[in-house]
Amino acid sequence: MSNNKMVTKANALIESCYTINLVAQRVIILAIIEAREQGSMAEIGGIHHIKASDYEKHFECDKTTAYRSLKSACESLYESEFVWTDKDAKGRDKINKSRFVQRASYCEGGGYVEVMFGNDVIPLITRLSEKYTEYELKQIKDLNSIYALRIFEILMQWLSVGKTPPITIDNLRTRLGIEENQYKTMGNFKNRVLDHAIQEINNNTNITVAYEQHKEGRRIVGFTFKFKVKTQKALESKRDADTPDMLTSLEMTDKQRGTFAAKLSRMSELSSYSKKGEDYQQFAARIENELLDESKYAFYKPYLDKLDFQLNSAK
């Protein structure tokens, strides 16, 4: 199984409502790829083996993390449900509720899990539907937020257009698996879910995305996402360590950037943004590099403000 394998899901599955953690979603994606490669429907409905070594390779983590992730995924997969909509014989909306898998097994000491898809999932992962979405596995390997992964899949539905239709806030929350008591205020939803997910997508995938807000009066009622496939990045030029970087709106010197990156890496608010297996020094180095990109500055600005970084302090 290589990283250029395609993940295929019916749009009905992407648009469905479910709450699932990132690790379980990754295991489902790997199982979908293996199922697609099996060939016959009988085999697709059979048992699929996901090895810790595959998880380690595709999502670039250490072996211990891979073993722990598979065990964690197995514990939650069987309980994972999804709700999707199709049509009955008279064209009326029919709401369906089912499980992703009918069996999930973890082999203690064997380094693998076994997944058997539920019967309702099989048609949704095998192109039996006329409306389906595909993307490359390698595009989502560095996404560390389930919300970023879900939004990326939504965007891939509209790849040929580069723009989603307006999505109501209620529909978006449902599709992201956000419960009623989570992120109730719009500010909290945008800061903790939407902006963080967009930042991850822009940093780690082959697309750049931004969103427009739709309002009724002063109330935000929905969003439209616009995105484009990235062109090859320009080579970075070398800079003197004390020369202000003029590529960003924040005139930080390299020396100051390193200082504040170290502080940012130890903020509890940013702990979920660190990658698995990344220590403080590695996290700080990544932040320092990301602060060079003006498009990433907006994400870090609220945290820099908390650290009392002022524009004139960089001069």
Q: Under a CB-based contact definition with an 8 Å cutoff, are residues 140 and 19 in contact?
A: no
Spatial separation of the C-alpha atoms in residues 92 and 133, rounded to whole Å: 24
Q: Under a CB-based contact definition with an 8 Å cutoff, are residues 8 and 133 in contact?
A: yes
Concatenated DSSP letters of 283-298: HHHHHHHHTT-HHHHH
Has residue 243 been placed in a domain?
no
- At which of 140, 169, 195 does a domain end? 140
pLDDT of residue 243: 43
Q: Under a CB-based contact definition with an 8 Å cutoff, are residues 6 and 137 in contact?
A: yes
At 38 the three-state DSSP class reads: helix
Whether residue 274 sits in one domain with residue 220: no
Q: What are phi and psi of 133, to 5 degrees?
A: -125, 140
Has residue 40 been placed in a domain?
yes
Which pair of tokens denotes residue 229? 């496939």
Q: Under a CB-based contact definition with an 8 Å cutoff, are residues 195 and 183 in contact?
A: no
Which pair of tokens denotes residue 276? 């698995």
Whether residue 199 sits in one domain with residue 170: yes
pTM of full prediction above 0.85: no
- Hey, which bits of the chain come out as E strands? 6-10, 47-51, 81-87, 93-99, 101-107, 112-117, 132-136, 167-168, 207-216, 219-229
Has residue 236 been placed in a domain?
no
From the number of C-beta atoms within 10 Å of its C-beta (0-12, 13-18, 19+), residue 296 rates as: middle
Has residue 237 been placed in a domain?
no
- At which of 86, 111, 140 does a domain end? 140
pLDDT of residue 309: 64
193: Cβ–Cβ under 8 A, 6 or more apart, which residues? 147, 176, 178, 183
Whether residue 164 sits in one domain with residue 136: no
- Name the β-bridge partners of 227: 209
CATH number at residue 67: 1.10.10.10
Whether residue 305 sits in one domain with residue 286: yes
Whether residue 275 sits in one domain with residue 161: no
Amino acid at 108: E
Q: How far is CA 302 from CA 49, 79, 191, 195, 270, in A?
A: 44, 37, 10, 12, 11
Has residue 37 been placed in a domain?
yes
Whether residue 108 sits in one domain with residue 157: no
Spatial separation of the C-alpha atoms in residues 198 and 48, rounded to whole Å: 32
Domain extent at residue 273: 254-314
Which pair of tokens denotes residue 211? 């969103």
Whether residue 119 sits in one domain with residue 173: no
Whether residue 200 sits in one domain with residue 130: no
Total domain count, the chain: 3
Has residue 247 been placed in a domain?
no
Spatial separation of the C-alpha atoms in residues 1 and 105, rounded to whole Å: 21
Has residue 160 been placed in a domain?
yes
Which pair of tokens denotes residue 180? 């009623």
Whether residue 205 sits in one domain with residue 70: no
Alpha helix positions (H), 60-119 = 63-77
pLDDT of residue 220: 93
Whether residue 151 sits in one domain with residue 132: no
Has residue 239 been placed in a domain?
no
Whether residue 104 sits in one domain with residue 47: yes
pLDDT of residue 246: 35
Name the stretches of the chain with pLDDT < 70. Answer: 1-4, 38-44, 127-130, 232-254, 292-298, 309-315
pLDDT of residue 42: 53
Whether residue 5 sits in one domain with residue 131: yes
- At which of 94, 124, 140 does a domain end? 140
